[in-house]
């Protein structure tokens, strides 16, 4: 069975942490509608949703991906780079402990899940705004015994590594070449975002379907030209909080 952990939108999402965007008003009702549609799309595509309630005290908590790194063998509970986000971990850990043994990232390491990018047994860790070099070493020590190769990447100009690159299909990646060097990912077919859509590199590949943000039609056309079946989702309000498609769920098999 395939599970997706999500968390409802906090009423205080307007007070979210921001690193690269200017603060803009977020329509809470619309943000919740968009999140409902996102959960609905996952459900329609065969994922069983474990939906955690919103927290009025945690503005960024809808972005559950940052709280953990999940493999078939373990769930690694992170230590987010923004201290305000660290209380988000406990409710997610309570769920994951039913499915996985857990490990914990401890200071001085800081890690956001959005900076961890799996390509089979290769694991890329983005070192930047929220994740530091110590976290790379923690993940290496934790994951190498399971056969993973862990290496660091250096994204620039964006919040997380998965703002710059995500998997778009069985053999291809969608990349913003201004934010990450595509040559890091040799052996993969590279699709570059349209230059007018720099934030379009965050998509969610779900096997037969790739979820893409509605705001980036030029990049969606590029994906479809490479034979990928895309489904678009309106994430415009959550994007004002520097959120993307991968950010809003933790996907794993039971």
Q: Alpha helices, DSSP H only, in the chain?
A: 28-44, 89-96, 133-143, 161-164, 217-225, 236-239
Which helix (H) or strand (E) segment is 103 a member of?
strand 101-104
Q: Which residues are catalytic?
A: 160, 247
Q: Please compute the mean of the pLDDT values over residues 161-190 and round it to a whole number.
A: 97
Domain holding 228, by residue range, is: 2-253
User: Residue 225 contacts by C-beta under 8 Å, 6 or more apart in sequence?
Assistant: none
Q: Please compute the mean of the pLDDT values over residues 4-19 and round it to a whole number.
A: 98
pLDDT band at 203 (very low <50, low <70, confident <90, very high): very high
pLDDT at 134: 98
pLDDT at 127: 98
pLDDT band at 63 (very low <50, low <70, confident <90, very high): very high
pLDDT at 105: 98
Does residue 61 contact residue 54 with C-beta atoms inside 8 Å?
A: yes
Q: b vs e for 117-146, b when ≥16 Cβ sit within 10 Å of the residue's Cβ?
A: beeeeebbbbbbbbbbebbbebbbebbeee
Give tens-digit pLDDT for 125-156.
999 999 999 999 999 999 999 999 999 999 99
Give tens-digit pLDDT for 217-229.
999 999 999 999 9
* DSSP string for residues in 124-143: EEE-SSS--HHHHHHHHHHH
Encode 71-95 in three state secondary structure: CCCEEEECECCCHHHHHHHHHHHHH
pLDDT at 215: 98
Q: Please compute the mean of the pLDDT values over residues 99-108 and round it to a whole number.
A: 97
Q: Is the dihedral of CA 24, 27, 30, 34 positive or negative?
A: positive
d(CA 4, CA 92) in angstroms, rounded, equals: 11
How many separate domains does the chain show? Answer: 1
Q: Please compute the mean of the pLDDT values over residues 117-122 and round it to a whole number.
A: 97
pLDDT at 65: 98
Q: Identify the CATH number of the domain in which residue 106 sits.
A: 3.75.10.10
Q: 52: closest CA among 96, 118, 105, 106? A: 96
pLDDT at 27: 98
232-238, long-range: CB < 8 A, 24+ apart: 233/34, 233/37, 233/38, 233/41, 234/34, 234/37, 235/34, 235/38, 236/30, 236/34, 237/26, 237/27, 237/30, 237/31, 237/34, 238/9, 238/31, 238/34, 238/35, 238/62
Q: b vs e for 178-195, b when ≥16 Cβ sit within 10 Å of the residue's Cβ?
A: ebbebeebeebeebbbee
């Amino acid at each position: 069975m395939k599970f997706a952990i999500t968390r409802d939108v906090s009423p205080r999402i307007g007070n979210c942490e921001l690193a690269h965007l200017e603060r803009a008003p977020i329509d809470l009702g619309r943000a919740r509608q968009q999140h409902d549609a996102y959960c609905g799309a996952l459900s329609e595509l065969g994922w069983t949703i474990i939906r955690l309630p919103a927290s009025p005290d945690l503005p960024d908590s809808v972005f559950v991906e940052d709280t953990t790194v999940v493999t078939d063998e373990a769930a690694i509970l992170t230590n987010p780079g923004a201290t305000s986000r660290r209380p988000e971990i406990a409710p997610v850990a309570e769920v994951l402990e039913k499915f996985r043994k857990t490990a914990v990232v401890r200071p001085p390491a800081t890690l956001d899940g959005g900076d961890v990018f799996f390509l089979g047994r290769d694991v890329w860790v983005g070192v930047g705004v929220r994740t530091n070099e110590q976290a790379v070493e923690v993940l290496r020590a934790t994951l190498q015994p399971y056969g993973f190769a862990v290496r660091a990447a250096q994204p620039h100009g964006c919040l997380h590594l998965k703002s710059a690159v995500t998997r778009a299909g069985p053999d291809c990646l969608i990349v913003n070449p201004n934010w990450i060097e595509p040559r890091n990912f040799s052996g993969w077919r590279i699709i570059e975002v349209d230059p007018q859509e720099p934030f379009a590199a965050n998509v969610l590949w779900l096997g037969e379907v790739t979820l893409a943000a509605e705001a980036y039609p030029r990049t969606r056309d590029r994906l479809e030209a490479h034979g990928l079946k895309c489904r678009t989702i309106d994430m415009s309000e959550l994007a004002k909080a520097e959120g993307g498609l991968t950010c809003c769920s933790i996907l794993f098999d039971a």
